[in-house]
Amino acid sequence: MIQGTGSDVGKSLVVAGLARAFANRGVRVAPFKPQNMSNNAAVTMDGGEIGRAQALQARAARLLACVDMNPVLLKPQGDNGAQIVVRGQIAGQAKARDYQSWKPRLASTVMESFARLKAASDLVIVEGAGSAAEINLRTHDIANMGFARAARTPVVLVGDIDRGGVIAQLVGCKAVIDEEDAALIEGFIVNKFRGDASLFESGMDFIAKQTGWRALGLLPYFEAASKLPAEDAYGLRDLPPGAGGDIKIVALLLPHIANFDDLDPLRAEPGVRLVFLRPGEALPGDAALAILPGSKATIADLATLRANGWDIDLQAHLRRGGKIFGVCGGYQMLGHGISDPIGIESPGGEAPGLGLLDVTTVLTDRKKLTHVAGHAPLFDSPFNGYEMHVGITTGPDCARPVLHLDDGRTDGARSLDGRVAGAYVHGLFANDSLRAALLRDLGAAPSTLHFEQSIEDALDALAAHCASHLDLDALWDIAR
């Protein structure tokens, strides 16, 4: 089990790198995260949803993702706390304090999923959540040491030297956790190192001496990490713009942004400068396209959009000849109104939309979770992607759909002049031919990016990176 001294220390990438590295050795390896908190999710082969990081780890292991890889997923919903997804399906919602009472009854589900993966694998690499030192949440814990102790799983602790204080992170963790929990930790990894590794040899020795844990490697900063989907939106506010091309695309950085890896292919394009518009910033006048991304709390994010004056900015953007595209929740915002009569994402009620598409949306208690493929007439291109949404959108502009699905359905809507469009399907921009058509329409240079291959290349590079700097043989012996 790979646990961390804190959030964002690189646990997810370490697991992905190890999964690909061991798979390259011919090991049947599977990823597992007992409990995740993220609005960046993926649809699995068995019709559920899990954290996007676990889907990436499954890909690294050369497996199809399944719900057992992340049996408990918490999806934050603002004032409503979090939606609780159990084995891929919505089980309810709870505030943070109320969720503590869920943990004892979720423990058996977690252990059952782990047992299935374990039975089918030579090696299961488990990812913890947040910090191993969150002693205030230790009672009934299913995410870190509580799981490790129940499953009798050895632990490797990861610290992040890039944020500073890594010696205190690791030694301090040993100081505050229970002795029986500390006994599960077999070794440690220092992640995100920059510079001359010889300068930290004494630091590694000190940590090992103070903790009694084995030093398993000093892992240099992995520059290609930005090419892989992120687990959560924490880092988006500080993310630099995309490649710096001539075409500027702006994405609204909403508080409850979801499935934001939809935008990764655009950010990777050499001819595109993708900018995340932060609260308080105006939509730039030279933007060719504005994207309203998915949202886990659509009505609340729509209110934030208005509070920032972005509704006015979008109208001005259209007057300048710009285009707008909405994905999932962003698509819903473009219509005349959103109704949430049974309180799926809000306390209930309704809100006026932006009125840029002649459609309306009603949120329902049935969530659509499926992989789809078909043809996109708007781009004259084949596509594949996935649906992950609640709600039904209808109206006259749906007569001009964005997508024709292979199962006979249509998805999305376009305005009469074609400059405003939206659809529910996620993952559209990862399709090379569709993305190339979009960029041609915006006046960008021809695309040379093969996006899916770039993900594979990054995973291979990550595996080689881990194999070069971590003691894989020692990790294998620890797991055995």
Q: What is the pLDDT of residues 402-431, one digit of tens each?
A: 999 999 999 999 999 999 999 999 999 999
162 is a domain residue: yes
234 is a domain residue: no
Mean pLDDT over 41-49 rounds to: 94
| φ and ψ of 128, to 5 deg | -75, -175
Chain segment 220-276, per-residue pLDDT in tens = 999 999 889 876 655 555 555 555 678 999 999 999 999 999 999 999 999 999 999
Is 257 found in the same domain as 159?
no
pLDDT the model gives residue 244 = 61
318 is a domain residue: yes
**Residue 469 bears catalytic tag:** no
pLDDT the model gives residue 245 = 73
Distance CA 366, CA 246 (A): 42
Side-chain-side CA neighbours of 403 within 13 Å: the count stands at 24
Instruction: Report residue 352's pLDDT band, with 50, 70 and 90 as the boundaries.
Output: very high
Characterise 381 by phi-psi region: left (phi > 0), alpha (psi -120 to 50), beta (else).
beta
240 is a domain residue: no
Mean pLDDT over 300-322 rounds to: 97
Using CA atoms, how far residue 289 sits from 304, 317, 420, in Å, is 20, 9, 10
Is 416 found in the same domain as 387?
yes
DSSP state, 62?
Answer: T
Range of the domain at 53: 2-226+457-479
Distance CA 73, CA 125 (A): 18
304 is a domain residue: yes
Residues 6+ apart with CB under 8 A from 464: 21
Chain segment 147-194, per-residue pLDDT in tens = 999 999 999 999 999 989 999 999 999 999 999 999 999 999 999 999
- Contact of 412 with 422, CB cutoff 8 Å: yes
CA torsion sign, 449 to 454 to 457 to 463?
positive
232 is a domain residue: no
475 is a domain residue: yes
449 is a domain residue: no
Is 207 found in the same domain as 154?
yes
Is 261 found in the same domain as 384?
yes
Q: Which of 114, 143, 157, 150 is nearest to 14 (CA)?
A: 157
pLDDT the model gives residue 230 = 78
Beta strand ranges found along 79-170 (DSSP E): 82-86, 89-94, 123-126, 155-160
The CATH number covering residue 81 comes to 3.40.50.300
Distance CA 406, CA 409 (A): 7
Number of folded domains that form the chain: 2
Characterise 45 by phi-psi region: left (phi > 0), alpha (psi -120 to 50), beta (else).
alpha
Tell me the longest C-alpha to C-alpha distance in the chain. Answer: 70
The answer to which of 44-48, 90-94, 214-218, 465-469 has the lowest mean pLDDT is 90-94
Q: Answer yes or no: is pLDDT of 83 > 80.
A: yes
- Contact of 210 with 169, CB cutoff 8 Å: no
Using CA atoms, how far residue 360 sits from 32, 354, 391, 411, 413, in Å, is 39, 11, 10, 14, 11
Side-chain-side CA neighbours of 180 within 13 Å: the count stands at 8
- How buried is residue 144: exposed, middle or buried, by Cβ count under 10 Å (0-12/13-18/19+)? buried
Using CA atoms, how far residue 22 sits from 229, 265, 306, 472, in Å, is 21, 28, 49, 8
Q: Which of 306, 473, 331, 311 is nearest to 397 (CA)?
A: 331
- Contact of 430 with 452, CB cutoff 8 Å: yes
Single out the catalytic residue among 256, 317, 389, 426.
426
Distance CA 99, CA 142 (A): 12
Q: What is the dihedral of CA 229, 232, 234, 236, to 10 degrees?
A: 40
pLDDT the model gives residue 79 = 63
Is 189 found in the same domain as 163?
yes
- Contact of 143 with 128, CB cutoff 8 Å: yes
Is 154 found in the same domain as 13?
yes
Using CA atoms, how far residue 265 sits from 243, 272, 326, 458, 463, in Å, is 11, 10, 16, 14, 22
Mean pLDDT over 20-48 rounds to: 96
The answer to which of 26-35, 78-87, 213-222, 437-446 has the lowest mean pLDDT is 78-87
Task: Sort strands 294-295 and 257-258 into parallel, antiparallel or unpaired.
Answer: antiparallel
Is 164 found in the same domain as 18?
yes
Is 317 found in the same domain as 172?
no
Is 438 found in the same domain as 469?
no
Give the bridge partners for 376, in sequence order.
Answer: 381
pLDDT the model gives residue 342 = 84
Is 138 found in the same domain as 34?
yes
Give the bridge partners for 371, in sequence order.
Answer: 386
pLDDT the model gives residue 348 = 63
What three-state secondary structure class fits 248? strand
Instruction: Report residue 465's pLDDT band, with 50, 70 and 90 as the boundaries.
Output: very high
Q: Beta-carbon neighbour count of residue 95 at 10 Å?
A: 11
CA 212 to chain centre: 35
The CATH number covering residue 372 comes to 3.40.50.880
**Unique residue bearing structure tokens 């002649």:** 358
Q: Answer yes or no: is pLDDT of 143 > 80.
A: yes
DSSP letters, 256-299, are TEE-GGGGHHHHH-TTEEEEEE-TTPPPPTTEEEEEE-EESSHH
Which helix (H) or strand (E) segment is 203 a member of?
helix 201-211
Is 401 found in the same domain as 373?
yes
Query: And the tokens for 193?
Result: 């190192």
Distance CA 291, CA 67 (A): 30
- Contact of 41 with 388, CB cutoff 8 Å: yes
Is 361 found in the same domain as 474?
no
**Residue 426 bears catalytic tag:** yes
Single out the catalytic residue among 328, 389, 398, 469.
328
